[in-house]
């Protein structure tokens, strides 16, 4: 009887286990890119980033960020126009124009204007106006 109860308990326990999906696996779709990401200014929210993680957190520029030094940010526009932004040498905001092309469903190749070196930007997910991205080479 004990063996039967143990076997049933083990079966129930194993049956309730499910494989967790990878939270860093890209889930941004073309539809969510078009409707939620493109045409908006995204600003880095480093307060929400996990130490040691390569995933960066961005919010729309309309978010009420705490006071800080100028933050990194970007914008995807139609026709492959990309605008990066970041701190300038004079503590202001520097604008870095460039171009973007789609590599796959969630990765975009960014080429800053006047540069021959490009980098990939993988859009991981967007939830409640919080965008998770990872830079890839």
pLDDT in tens, 57-87: 999 999 999 999 899 999 999 999 999 999 9
pLDDT of residue 5: 34
Q: Look at the domain 23-136 and name its fold.
A: Lipocalin (2.40.128)
pTM of the shown model: 0.76
In degrees, to the nearest 5, what angle opens at C-alpha 136 toward C-alphas 109 and 47?
110
d(CA 90, CA 10): 64
Backbone angles phi, psi at 33, to 5 degrees: -65, -50
For the chain, the structural domain boundaries read 23-136
DSSP 62: T
Give 11-23 pLDDT, tens digit per residue: 333 333 333 445 5
């Amino acid at each position: 009887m004990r063996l039967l109860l143990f076997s049933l308990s083990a079966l129930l326990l194993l049956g309730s286990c499910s494989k967790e999906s990878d939270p860093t696996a890209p889930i941004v779709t073309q539809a969510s890119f078009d409707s939620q990401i493109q045409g908006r200014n995204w600003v880095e929210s480093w307060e929400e980033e996990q130490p040691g993680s390569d995933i960066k957190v961005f919010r729309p520029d309309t978010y009420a960020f705490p006071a800080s030094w100028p933050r990194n940010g970007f914008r995807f526009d139609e026709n492959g126009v990309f605008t990066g932004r970041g701190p300038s040498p004079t503590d202001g905001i520097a604008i870095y124009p460039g171009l973007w092309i789609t590599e796959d469903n969630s990765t975009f190749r960014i080429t800053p204007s006047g540069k021959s070196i490009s980098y990939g930007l993988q859009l991981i997910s967007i939830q409640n106006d919080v965008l998770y991205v990872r830079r890839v080479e």
